[in-house]
């Protein structure tokens, strides 16, 4: 029994490397954003999202969606996502380097 | 089961892994071969390596330099050099991807191997095809590769782009330019109409007595009202669009006389830009991934081929439901496919994705219009998320159009940096 506990303990340590990989799993829609929103400095007119405050991103997306925030294209995109999806995307983008 | 759920459940499974560590090692060393180094393939290779650096990722692309199609209409119009469209694979290789500069010639789906032009082969656990398009030289009477040297398609950026540019430069003021646009589906649905705009921009400033006719095999096209408004506003009287029902479908061409032949008559052009029908790049058919349309049917969650197991198809070569064949789509599909493959090789089940497409066109250098869409798997395909997407407003200020033109430039800089930089 003691040996089994050691085995489980070891196994948990080994498995702990896997959730790191899972943390990079983008929620629905989030992987597309980097097509326009640079992760680095390119002197782009389009704002950088990676590492930005999650609340700020989610609030902006909600504003684009209901039209309270002016947009060219983001109003059309934000309408494709629910509140939960926008929050998940914002949290994921905020966690990106 | 998503990869996240799979991973949280895997603490228990790790007991088994400890007893028999081989499967875990095999997972981390999965071999992924990607064929085609354009916006789809190079994006997918880089995304795979980023998701899991342990994956063995090989990118097979015979060309040392990639020449981008988006913004190549600016090259046709003399607004940009072809050099600005060129990208190399040094950064792709530096990110840990093996770049093989050879053509893939055969695929053995049962043995999971790719045969290369030098006679060697690559083994894979998962294969990604992103071969882009092949022009159907059998689809338009009189139009073959030799004819394309006289009547350029310029639908693959490079020498053809420059040839069309040179012909426009050599044309007299008062000449006639004819663009033949194909039926759907084809690479870059708004491309022929953006091209008409930018050629008209060149003609207006340099050869203002000239005319441009679009002979179309369709009755409707992408961003139609926006383009038509732009033609009226920016190039009054210069562009004529002849739709399918007006007799616009080109049935044959005669390169000797630069003539385009329709049911309703012939058009002899000084410059004839013939964009023929297309199909998926040749390797997709060799892989058994094409159907009778000439394109590749795919699973909307993983982009795995409907007919060739363990082979995924992304970009222009696949039929992605409502998603158009654009560089943005290819890039978004590449990242979705990479996530799905990483999940699959780890033994999980990929969750349903959502994808976005944004596509800008320039009606003039400072006049941009766009279409956007959000897509999700529905009834085995990718469908529009209802209520989302659509085109730029029909009534918008010139400032709005200028901002969209600026965003178009930003998009190109950003996406090429992500893919090649």
Cβ-based neighbour number of residue B410 at 10 Å: 19
Q: What is the distance between the alpha carbons of residues A73 and A70, in angstroms, rounded to a whole number? A: 10
Q: What is the dihedral of CA B229, B233, B239, B244, to 10 degrees?
A: 10
Q: What is the distance between the alpha carbons of residues B259 and B217, in angstroms, rounded to a whole number? A: 16
HSE-CB for A62 with a 13 A CA cutoff: 13
Q: Which of B27, B315, B411 is the mutation pick for testing A, counting most A CBs within 10 A?
A: B411
- pLDDT tens string, chain B, 421 residues long: the values are 444 444 444 444 443 434 444 444 444 589 999 999 999 999 999 999 999 999 999 999 999 999 999 999 999 999 999 999 999 999 999 999 999 999 999 999 999 999 999 999 999 999 999 999 999 999 999 999 999 999 999 999 999 999 999 999 999 999 999 999 999 999 999 999 999 999 999 999 999 999 999 999 999 999 999 999 999 999 999 999 999 999 999 999 999 999 999 999 999 999 999 999 999 999 999 999 999 999 999 999 999 999 999 999 999 999 999 999 999 999 999 999 999 999 999 999 999 999 999 999 999 999 999 999 999 999 999 999 999 999 999 999 999 999 999 999 999 999 999 999 9
Identify the burial level of B19 via C-beta atoms within 10 angstroms of its C-beta, where 0-12 means exposed, 13-18 middle and 19 or more buried: exposed
DSSP states along B286-323: HTT---TTSSEEB-TTT-BBSSSTTEEE-GGGEE-TT-
- Summarised one tens digit per residue, pLDDT across range B332-359 is 999 999 999 999 999 999 999 999 999 9
Q: What is the distance between the alpha carbons of residues B157 and B70, in angstroms, rounded to a whole number? A: 9
Cβ within 8 Å, pair A21-B410? no
Contacts of B392 in chain A (CB under 8 A): 72-73
Cβ within 8 Å, pair B389-A22? no
How many residues belong to chain A?
97
Contacts of A25 in chain B (CB under 8 A): 2-4, 339, 343
Contacts of A33 in chain B (CB under 8 A): 356
**Residue B85 Cα distances to A93, B152, B257, B407, B420, angstroms:** 29, 18, 32, 17, 12
- Summarised one tens digit per residue, pLDDT across range B61-117 is 999 999 999 999 999 999 999 999 999 999 999 999 999 999 999 999 999 999 999
Q: What is the distance between the alpha carbons of residues B347 and B7, in angstroms, rounded to a whole number? A: 10
SS3 content of chain A, % helix, strand, coil (to 5): 60, 0, 40
Angle B191-206/B159-170 helices, nearest 10 degrees?
30
The reply to whether A18 touches chain B by the CB within 8 Å rule is yes
**Closest Cα in chain A, distance from residue B373 (Å):** 6
Whether B143 and B151 have beta carbons less than 8 Å apart is answered as: yes
């Amino acid at each position: 029994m003691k040996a089994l506990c050691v085995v489980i303990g070891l196994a948990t340590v080994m498995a702990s490397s896997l959730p790191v990989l899972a943390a990079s799993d983008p929620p629905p829609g989030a992987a597309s954003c980097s097509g326009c929103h640079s992760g680095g400095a390119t002197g782009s007119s389009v704002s950088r999202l990676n590492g930005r405050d999650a609340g700020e991103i989610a609030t902006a997306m909600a504003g684009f969606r209901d039209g309270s925030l002016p947009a060219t294209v983001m109003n059309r995109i934000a309408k494709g996502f629910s509140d939960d999806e926008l929050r998940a995307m914002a949290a994921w983008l905020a966690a990106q380097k | 089961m998503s990869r996240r759920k799979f991973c949280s459940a895997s603490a228990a499974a790790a007991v088994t892994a400890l007893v028999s560590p081989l499967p875990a090692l095999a997972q981390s060393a999965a071999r992924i071969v990607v064929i085609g180094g354009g916006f789809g393939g190079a994006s997918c290779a880089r995304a795979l390596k980023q998701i899991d650096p342990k994956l063995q990722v090989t990118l097979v692309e015979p060309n040392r330099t990639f020449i981008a199609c988006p913004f190549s209409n600016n090259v046709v119009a003399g607004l940009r050099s072809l050099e600005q469209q060129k990208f190399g694979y040094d950064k792709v290789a530096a990110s840990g991807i093996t770049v093989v500069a050879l053509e893939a010639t055969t695929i053995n789906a049962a043995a999971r191997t790719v045969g290369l032009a030098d006679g060697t082969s690559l083994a894979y656990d998962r294969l990604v095809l992103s071969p882009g398009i092949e022009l159907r030289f059998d689809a338009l009477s009189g139009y073959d590769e030799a004819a394309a040297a006289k009547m350029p398609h310029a639908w693959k950026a490079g020498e053809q782009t420059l040839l069309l540019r040179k012909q426009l430069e050599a044309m007299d003021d008062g000449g006639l330019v004819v663009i033949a646009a194909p039926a759907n589906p084809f690479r870059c649905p708004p491309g022929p109409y953006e091209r008409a705009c930018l050629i008209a921009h060149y003609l207006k400033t340099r050869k203002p007595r000239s005319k441009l006719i679009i002979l179309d095999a369709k009755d409707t096209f992408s961003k139609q009202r926006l383009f038509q408004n732009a033609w009226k506003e920016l190039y009054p009287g210069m562009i004529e669009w002849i739709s399918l029902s007006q007799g616009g479908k080109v049935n044959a061409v005669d390169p000797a006389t630069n003539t385009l032949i329709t049911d309703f008559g012939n058009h002899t052009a000084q410059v004839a830009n013939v964009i023929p029908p297309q199909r998926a790049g040749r390797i997709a058919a060799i892989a058994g991934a094409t159907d009778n349309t000439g394109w590749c049917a795919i699973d909307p969650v993983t982009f795995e081929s409907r007919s060739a197991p363990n082979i995924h198809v992304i970009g222009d070569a696949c039929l992605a439901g409502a998603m158009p064949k654009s560089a943005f789509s290819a890039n978004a599909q590449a990242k979705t496919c990479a996530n799905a493959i990483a999940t699959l090789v780890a033994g999980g089940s990929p969750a349903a994705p959502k994808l976005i497409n944004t596509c800008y066109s320039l009606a003039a250098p400072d006049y941009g219009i766009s279409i956007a869409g959000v897509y999700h798997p529905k009834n085995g395909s990718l469908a529009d998320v209802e209520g989302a997407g659509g085109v730029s407003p029909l009534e918008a200020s010139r400032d709005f159009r200028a901002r969209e033109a600026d965003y178009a430039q930003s998009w190109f800089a950003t996406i090429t940096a992500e893919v090649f930089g």
